[in-house]
Amino acid sequence: MEIRVNPTRMELNRLKKRLTMAQRGHKLLKDKRDELIRQFMILVRKNKDLREHIEKELTDAFAKFLLARAVMPVENLEEALMYPTKVLRLDIHRQNIMSVYTPRFDWVEEQSGGAEESSIYPYGFVDTSAELDTSIETLSKILPQLMELAEVEKSVQLMAEEIEKTRRRVNALEHVLIPRLEETVKYITMKLDESERGALTRLMKIKDVVRAKM
Amino acid sequence: MLIDDTIYGYAVARVKALETHLLEQGQFERMINASTGEEALKVLSESGYAAALAELDDIHNFETVLADELRYVFNLVMKISPLPELIGMLALRYDIHNLKVLFKARFLGITSDLLIPVGSVELAKLENAVTEDDFLLLPEKLRRAANQIIEDFMVNRDPQIVDLILDRVLYDQLIEEARERQAPFLEGLFVRQIDLTNLKTLIRVKQMGLSRDFLSRVLLPKGTLAVEKLAAMIEEPLESLISMLDISDYADLVGEGVREWSEKGSASLLEKLSDNYITAYLREGKWVPFGVEPLVGYLWAKEIEIKNIRIVLVGKINQLPAESIRERIRDVYV
């Protein structure tokens, strides 16, 4: 379906300009989409690895935690963990991947106490189960990976959105705008040609009439 | 001071009667074999817990039942005991727990609901002392510990220190009181608990990769195993710990428990054997006709029973395999 326009030469020029613009845009967007997808695939693969790894570790840590929970009264357990030794400070920066702003996390773990030994265990040894130690240790070890996963996963989400948007634009250009413009250009050219031919025949006709009269 | 033992007549008789209501190994076995947490609870409600369980609307709140039971048993034994001070000593660990909670809550600027209303000092008094920074009402040792905590925390802001100081003062106080009140049976109990805790601490600190210096600070003094000797063990392989204790009372438990720990990385066996060891010690006093021993034994039995119930229920609710529940169940006292 063509666009309703006045079939004038000016309109034709305008449309032709739009068409080249659309074609250039289409090419650029297509490149952007391909690159986005490439980046996306890298991230997704990383995400998958990280996630599988973390899920395994977490299941393990939770299982151990459960056992620690089973042998300690709930009050003891919560008392043991109520005041953490570490404080996590998180800074979030923006990072530009193909004009998608993805988050980048910078974090510092700070010891809340100035104690010389950086112990991650905020509790004493009486009345706490050794099974708690191992689960705390695992949890504390996977925290950096967990942060990384959060970063990657959010990036993947944002990229996916962007890819979808870009793809929709590419499709719109490819299947709607460009064909329409082409059709309209064709329509106007035909119309102009037609009227040119009309004018020509009219001129010839007039010429005949004038010549006959002479 | 020689105490006339016969004053224990009533208390011992009463406890003997109560002992018959303790859960037996068979009942735990049935709970373990139950298909779900609810089923396990049903087995439990055939016992003395029936009344409390009837009011339980959500299985996940079973802890309240256990806490109530513990409080009830403590108050009961305290009431029937002719010398409640001795039983009060056993409640001291709850005072210490409450102090830990109060201190941490104060340092965090929150209020906490983790207090356990069992204990020899009234809760309100403790709460007041910690919030007002006025420890005059506390027993002397606790007072000193409290001041030490405040001082240390202001400098280091290390929450572990709260636990470490209070744990140490707990056993200091217990041993001293036991000696003062001439209760060799209780002293024996505390000394054994110190030793077992120290052994566990040694291995835990070793696995955490912390220094010998740190270890010698956290080991509890006044046990039968010398602190320096234990601290030295941190640099040795676990095998030499086993051989060091080869001729001590702890040979069996350390041999089995530590080996399992170093091979499978699981402390559960050692912890279970430690509890069993204490149970076995207290069982020796079970048939004393007049004395504090059966009372202490009963209280411990109740604590173990509650621990076992917790293990089974937590395990059942979370669908742990029966085997890993079973291997954590402690021996029962009866």
Q: Which residues of A touch B329 (CB under 8 A)?
A: none
Domain extents in chain B: 1-81+292-334
Structure tokens that stand for B133 in this block: 């920074």
pLDDT for res A118: 54
Show the domain range for A170: 24-206
Q: Is residue A182 part of a domain?
A: yes
User: How far, in whole angstroms, is CA A53 from its chain's centroid?
Assistant: 24
Q: Which residues of B touch A66 (CB under 8 A)?
A: 314, 318, 320
For residue A68, the distance in angstroms to the closest alpha carbon of chain B comes to 9
B156, B163, B267 ranked by CB distance to A123: nearest? B163
- Contact criterion met (CB < 8 Å) for A83 and B104: yes
Q: Which residues of B touch A84 (CB under 8 A)?
A: 159
Q: Is residue A9 part of a domain?
A: no
CB B306 within 8 A of CB B330: no
Structure tokens that stand for B31 in this block: 């709970």
Q: How many structural domains are present in chain A?
A: 1
| Superfamily of domain covering B1-81+292-334 | ATP synthase (C/AC39) subunit, domain 3 (1.10.132.50)
Interface test with B, best of A72, A126, A129, A138 (most B CBs within 10 A): A126
Alpha carbons B285 and B288: distance in angstroms, whole number: 5
Interface test with B, best of A65, A66, A72, A75 (most B CBs within 10 A): A75
Report how far apart, in Å, the C-alpha atoms of B82 and of each of B54, B86, B193, B200 are: 33, 9, 25, 35
pLDDT for res B112: 81
Q: Is residue A200 part of a domain?
A: yes
A82, A114, A129 ranked by CB distance to B156: nearest? A114
Q: Which residues of B touch A135 (CB under 8 A)?
A: none
Report how far apart, in Å, the C-alpha atoms of B182 and of each of A55, B186, B290 are: 55, 9, 15
- Contact criterion met (CB < 8 Å) for A85 and B160: yes
Each as own residue / partner, the long-range contacts of residues B257-264 (CB below 8 Å, 24 or more positions apart, any chain) are: B258/B199, B258/B203, B261/A130, B261/B203, B262/B238
- Contact criterion met (CB < 8 Å) for A127 and B167: yes
- Contact criterion met (CB < 8 Å) for A85 and B158: yes
B63, B114, B218 ranked by CB distance to A125: nearest? B218
Q: Which residues of A touch B267 (CB under 8 A)?
A: 129-131, 133-134
A75, A114, A130 ranked by CB distance to B116: nearest? A75
Q: Residue B84, CB half-sphere, CA atoms under 13 Å: how many? A: 10
Q: Which helix (H) or strand (E) holds B78?
A: helix B62-80
Q: Shortest CA distance to B216 belongs to which of B282, B143, B292, B164?
A: B164
B157, B203, B270 ranked by CB distance to A112: nearest? B157
pLDDT for res A112: 64
CB A178 within 8 A of CB A15: no
For residue B147, the distance in angstroms to the closest alpha carbon of chain A comes to 18
For residue A40, the distance in angstroms to the closest alpha carbon of chain B comes to 38
Q: Is residue A13 part of a domain?
A: no
pLDDT for res A113: 56
Return the ∠ at Cα B134 (arms to B130 and B137), rounded to 5°.
95
Q: Which residues of A touch B93 (CB under 8 A)?
A: 127
For residue A81, the distance in angstroms to the closest alpha carbon of chain B comes to 10
Q: Which residues of A touch B318 (CB under 8 A)?
A: 66
Q: Shortest CA distance to A131 belongs to which of B323, B315, B267, B263?
A: B267
pLDDT for res A61: 86
B93, B104, B271 ranked by CB distance to A71: nearest? B271
Tell me which chain A residue has its CA closest to the CA of residue B268. A131
Q: Is residue A88 part of a domain?
A: yes
pLDDT for res A210: 93
pLDDT per residue as tens digits for the range B36-85: 888 888 888 888 788 778 887 788 888 888 888 888 898 899 889 888 88
Q: Which residues of A touch B268 (CB under 8 A)?
A: 67, 71, 131
Alpha carbons A35 and A38: distance in angstroms, whole number: 5
Q: Which residues of B touch A80 (CB under 8 A)?
A: 163
A67, A124, A127 ranked by CB distance to B160: nearest? A124
Tell me which chain B residue has its CA closest to the CA of residue A64. B266
- Contact criterion met (CB < 8 Å) for A112 and B105: no
Q: Is residue A75 part of a domain?
A: yes
Q: Which residues of B touch A126 (CB under 8 A)?
A: 163, 167, 170-171, 197, 220
User: What are the helix (H) ranges across A72-177?
Assistant: 74-81, 130-171
Q: Shortest CA distance to B329 belongs to which of B280, B272, B283?
A: B272
- Contact criterion met (CB < 8 Å) for A126 and B170: yes
Q: Shortest CA distance to B91 belongs to which of B77, B102, B103, B112?
A: B77
Alpha carbons B58 and B205: distance in angstroms, whole number: 38
Does the pLDDT value for residue A111 go beyond 80? no
- Contact criterion met (CB < 8 Å) for B218 and A124: yes
Q: What is the pLDDT along chain B (334 residues), one digit of tens a residue?
A: 456 778 888 888 998 898 888 888 888 999 999 888 888 888 888 887 887 788 877 888 888 888 888 888 988 998 898 888 888 888 888 888 888 898 888 888 888 888 887 777 778 888 888 888 888 877 788 888 888 888 888 887 888 888 889 999 999 989 998 998 888 899 999 999 999 999 999 988 888 888 888 888 889 988 888 888 888 888 888 888 888 888 888 888 888 888 888 888 788 888 999 999 999 999 988 888 888 889 999 999 999 999 999 999 988 888 888 888 888 889 888 7
Q: How many CB pairs under 8 A join A and B?
A: 134
Q: Is residue A11 part of a domain?
A: no
B66, B164, B310 ranked by CB distance to A124: nearest? B164
pLDDT per residue as tens digits for the range A56-79: 988 888 888 888 888 888 888 888
